[in-house]
Each structure stands twice: as C-alpha cells, then as structure tokens.
Amino acid sequence: MHPRVQFEALQAARQRETTAAFGETYALRAGFEGILACGVRCGHPRRTRYIGRQKVHPGHILTTTGLNSLRPGAWFLGVPRRRSPRSPLTRLLIAPIAA
C-alpha cells in the first residue's frame, strides 16, 4: 500500500472506533477475550497429556465445564476481576515520589 492510502485507512479505522456501535461490538469481544484468557490461565487447554482427538476433546469439555462454574462462583464470592498488567513505564509514572 502507498503511505497515503495506508494513512487514510488508519484514520478511517480510528474514526470508526469512536462510534457507539463499535463500543457495543468491542464490549462483547472484550468479554469473550476475558473468558478465554481465564481458560488459558486456569485450564491450560493448549497442553494436554493425551494424543488424539478422542482423548483431548473430553479434556476440553471438562475445562469448559469448570470455567462455567468458576466464573459465577467468583462473582458470587465477590472476587475482583483480573486487571490488565501495567507497563514498567506506567508504573513508574504513577508511583509516588519519595521525599
């Protein structure tokens, strides 16, 4: 792509991100991404101890079942949701200055 066409496409995408419709769509995606991240952290579905679809699939079903009970349980107990990690520069900027 030419730099001008690429710049215009980027500006159009940034303009689209400011609309309410994009916010609604992104909220749905963000919710799904959070569930998926929790599943990867808790259930480790990317590594299985078995080889073959017939043995791996039940493991994925059990992981999904566990997530479906973990999320409402955490909500019921009042466990706060995990926050996104902050970069070292951000942590440095918001840290109080010692006198």
Model confidence pLDDT, tens digit, residues 11-70: 999 999 999 989 888 888 887 787 778 778 777 777 777 777 788 888 888 888 888 888
Give me the pLDDT at residue 30, please.
82
**Model confidence at 96: pLDDT above 90:** no
3-state secondary structure of 79: coil
Give me the pLDDT at residue 1, please.
61
Q: What contacts 16, CB < 8 A, 6 or more positions away?
A: 22
- DSSP code of residue 45: T
Give me the pLDDT at residue 81, please.
76
- Per-residue confidence band for 99, with pLDDT thresholds at 50, 70 and 90: low
